[in-house]
Amino acid sequence: MTGFNFSDVNLAVTTPFNAQGKIDYSRFELLIERYVAAGVHGFVLSSGTGMHVYLSKEESKELVAFGAKVINGRARVIAQTSALMADEVVERTRHARDCGADGVMVLPPFFEGPTDDQGIIDFYATVSEAGLPVIGYNVPQVVGVKVTPSLFQQLSQIPNFVSVKDSSGDLTDQAALVRTGLPTLNGADPLTPFALFAGAAGLIWGGANMAPKACVDLANAAALKQWENVRAIWQSLAPVMSLIWQGDYVQSVYAGAEIMGYGAGNPRRPLARLAAEKLGPLRDALAPLIEYEAAASS
């Protein structure tokens, strides 16, 4: 395993689309600038929250190239390069490397791919040959592959394999990954402060699109072990981070970011905008953060 350099908040940034459903690069640049100004430590481009599975390979590669150019070393860049075929993952990863990305996030083989440990190890060993730090992605409820502590330890023997993002939403399982002593990234929004207290090495955080300043402040306080400050900030974040995890995650993040002034428009089809009856509860959950973000700007 090579060195780990992905601590603090890595924003799984939304991808904006125009009225015709095409990527809106002007709006994307404005969003990046605002998130950089908020102190975001890193960006995940073509993330799940950024509609990775609904971008073509060409769109994803163009998005990574554009985003990396705009960020221009002011924050770290992680590109999601997941695909069904290993050769395509390698191609996308090499492209991300050439664009200056600091690392890639890659789902294990999915849709009837191998589920045995050796098959997963062989897959990531192939990806690692592209020459960038690789972050595995543990989301067993979607992919059907679970990264156990034993598998994590075996994956860590692969050159360039640096971490696992755990989006299982199970704190017990994540704590078991943390106890390996290997750097684990939390990807489950409602677990954020608990994961950091347990020893998670950093965050890949989609919900941070809605309130980047509060999220960065929380991560910075945790890094200083200022747990009373973490708890105070989390009181404002907890209602919305719990709500969006209950369903319609991507649609909720897009809608919430719009409410908070970090709008990326609507998600791309086949996802629709968040249902009207769910906007009221979302606004209520965001109310403490509107005050927090406004105070942080003053």
What residues act catalytically? 137, 165
Reading the block at residue 155, the tokens are: 């994956």
Phi, psi of 211, rounded to the nearest 5 degrees = -145, 70
Q: Outline where DSSP puts E strands in the chain.
A: 9-12, 42-45, 76-80, 103-106, 134-138, 161-166, 184-186, 202-205
Contact of 291 with 211, CB cutoff 8 Å? no
Residues 208 and 202: their CA atoms lie apart, in Å, by 13
Residues 64 and 80: their CA atoms lie apart, in Å, by 9
What SS3 state is found at 166?
strand
Contact of 251 with 245, CB cutoff 8 Å? no
What SS3 state is found at 23?
strand
Closest CA to 135 of 114, 160, 115: 160
- Cβ atoms within 10 Å of 269's Cβ, excluding its own: 9
List all residues 6 or more positions away from 26 whose beta carbon is below 8 Å from its beta carbon: none
